[in-house]
Amino acid sequence: MYVSWSTLALGLWGQATMGTVDSYDSRLDGRSAGQNRSRTISKGYYFTANGKQYRGYVIYASDEVWPRLPKGGTRAERILYLPFFPYINKPSALSDFDEMGALAIIYHTFAPLVYLLLLLLVSGTVKRQKKTNRRPVKQPDHHPVKLRNNAQMFCTNCGKALVKDAVFCTNCGTRILNAGADRDGQAMPAPESGFPNFPVRAGFSNYCDHPDILEAAPGKTVKPALAVCGC
């Protein structure tokens, strides 16, 4: 971008003077390259402006084939510089509109605009990325877990752990009160059923040895529901 701006400034406001080239090199890059692209030229020079000597150095692509300078040799060349700031200077072949040609003028005119557009796009993308990174991440809602009290988690009669939402203890058959049903939080014993208070077990229980069941069992058909609840 600086190259294009300095070239346009020298073409519009540059002042010409004769300078001295004291270093020159022409490197062949490719014979099949396009126009003004076959060689890389590096050139060092100096000139005097406003009673002070200034130096310059340029590298550019071109087709020019000047002979290399002998050791200690020099060659005169026309230089353009800005009168109010001579540190900006170039050979006239690179900054004079009459010598540059129309394509070079168009290139140096629109190149800074393209560079600025790309810079704005990159800076805008970086700013949006920073805003996205600073955006707070929404934390998942934590719902309070409803815990059962100690009277509900363990049977107050036998101390065994209770199944969730159990009404009776599966180990001793003691009835479990819901939270708030009893101020003392004590378990209510199971209602009298006419049978001894044997431990209740899933599937089979000690009720199969009860005399009433043994007396009724011979010669009678046992219903499937009684078979499950009995032995």
Average pLDDT, the chain: 76
pTM of the model: 0.50
Predicted confidence band at 215 (pLDDT cuts at 50, 70, 90)? low
Which of the two residues, 153 and 127, has the higher pLDDT score? 127
Across 59-63, 213-217, 221-225, the highest mean pLDDT is recorded for 59-63
Look at residue 62 and tell me whether its pLDDT is greater than 80. yes
pLDDT tens for residues 101-121?
Answer: 888 888 888 888 888 888 889
User: In terms of pLDDT, which residue wins out, 17 or 184?
Assistant: 17
DSSP for the chain? -HHHHHHHHHHHH-EEEEEEEEEEEEEE--TTS-TT-SEEEEEEEEEEETTEEEEEEEEEEE---PPPPPTT--EEEEEEEETTEEEEEEEHHHH-HHHH-HHHHHHHHHHHHHHHHHHHHHHHHHHHHHHHHHSPPPPPP-PPP----HHHHB-TTT-PBPPTT-SB-TTT--B-PPTTTSTT-PPBPPPP-SS--PPP-SS--GGGG-HHHHHHSTTSPPPHHHHHH--
Q: What is the pLDDT of residue 83?
A: 94
